[in-house]
């Protein structure tokens, strides 16, 4: 039987590009501004399921290290799932985020060459004013802030793109961005970031 899944929520992502990530508009065909892409993301699942396993309320984190142009693959990735998640939820999320069950994340099964595994740790994803504050214990400490636009109270946005994460992207900047783990020690303060509403599934 086909494994069915659905996720709705929000993703905040920090990467090593110095301005705004060119992958959003080039759909992965333009090189990162710093030759390679170092990125982490926090995800808040508001609604979701994997078969009959309820995923609502689960927090997830990702680490991805890309050697060059995104569409060429050979990514290294790791998955973090909130320690409060059940074993069944962890299993389902692992299948989703390794692309093994098709749908929105299927490309991860093609582009990730090295999957470093899953770790269950405390994860928090908070919204304070318009900033997203993400903490993955022992790994991530991040504050993502939208870039303000000309109109008062409105953020700069990319709309109606074919970007795989979401068609509408809030252009953001990392006020604080640290990742430590898996032999990596990244400090990405002031660099490119994104906030996206997720509507994923197969």
Model confidence at 27: pLDDT above 90: no
Q: Which residue from 153, 45, 162, 172 is spatially nearest to 97, judged by alpha carbons?
A: 45
| Average pLDDT score over residue span 30-50 | 92
Cα(42)–Cα(124) distance, rounded to whole angstroms? 9
Residue-range domain boundaries for the chain:
5-201
Secondary structure (DSSP) of the chain:
----EEEEEEEEEEES-SSS-THHHHTT-SPPTTSSEEEEEEEEEEEEEETTEE-TT-EEEEEEEESS-GGG--EEEEEEEETTS-HHHHHHHHHHHTTTT-GGGTHHHHHEEEEEEEEEE-EEEEEETTEEEEEETTTEEEEEEEPB-SSTT-B-EE-S---SS-SSEEEEEEEEEEEEETTEEEE-TTSEEEEEEEEEE-
CB contact at 8 A, 49 and 96 = no
Confidence of residue 31 (pLDDT cuts 50, 70, 90): confident
Residues in the chain: 202
The first and second tokens of residue 38, run together, are 């170092």
pLDDT of residue 163: 87
Confidence tier at 193 by pLDDT (50, 70, 90): very high
Number of other residues whose CB lies within 10 A of the CB of residue 90: 20
For residues 78-93, average pLDDT:
97
- Within 13 Å, how many C-alpha atoms sit on residue 20's CB side? 14
Answer yes or no: is pLDDT of 35 > 90: no
Distance CA 45, CA 11 (A): 9
Is 90's pLDDT higher than 60?
A: yes
pLDDT for position 30: 80
pLDDT recorded at residue 1: 56
Q: Is 179 left (phi over 0), alpha (psi -120 to 50) or beta?
A: beta
Reported as a single tens digit per residue, the pLDDT across 131-173 is 999 999 999 999 999 999 998 889 999 999 998 899 999 999 9
Chain centre to alpha carbon of residue 38: 12
Residue-level pLDDT at 2: 74
Q: What pLDDT band is residue 29 in, cutting at 50, 70 and 90?
A: confident
**45-76: per-residue pLDDT in tens?**
999 999 999 999 999 999 999 988 888 889 99
At 69 the pLDDT is: 82
Could you read off the pLDDT of 93-134 as tens digits, one per residue? 999 999 999 999 999 999 999 999 999 999 999 999 999 999
Is the separation of the CB atoms in 41 and 11 below 8 Å? yes
């Amino acid at each position: 039987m086909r494994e069915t899944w659905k996720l709705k929520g929000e993703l905040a992502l920090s990467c090593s590009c110095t301005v705004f990530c060119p992958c959003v508009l080039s759909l992965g065909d333009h090189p990162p501004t710093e030759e390679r892409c170092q990125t982490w993301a926090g995800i808040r699942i508001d609604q979701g399921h994997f078969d009959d396993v309820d995923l609502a309320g689960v927090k997830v984190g990702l680490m991805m290290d890309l050697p060059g142009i995104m569409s060429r693959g050979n990514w290294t990735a790791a998955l973090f799932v909130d320690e409060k998640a059940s074993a069944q939820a962890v299993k389902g999320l692992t299948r989703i985020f390794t692309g093994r069950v098709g749908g929105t994340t299927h490309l991860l099964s093609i582009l990730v060459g090295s999957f470093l595994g899953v770790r269950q740790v405390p994860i928090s994803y908070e919204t304070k004013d318009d900033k997203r504050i993400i903490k993955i214990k022992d790994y991530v400490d991040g504050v993502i802030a939208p870039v303000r636009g000309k109109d008062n109270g409105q953020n700069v946005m990319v709309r109606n793109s074919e970007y795989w994460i979401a068609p509408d992207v809030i252009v953001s900047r990392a006020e604080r961005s640290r990742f430590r783990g898996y032999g990596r020690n990244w400090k990405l303060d002031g660099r490119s970031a994104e906030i996206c509403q997720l509507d994923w599934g197969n």
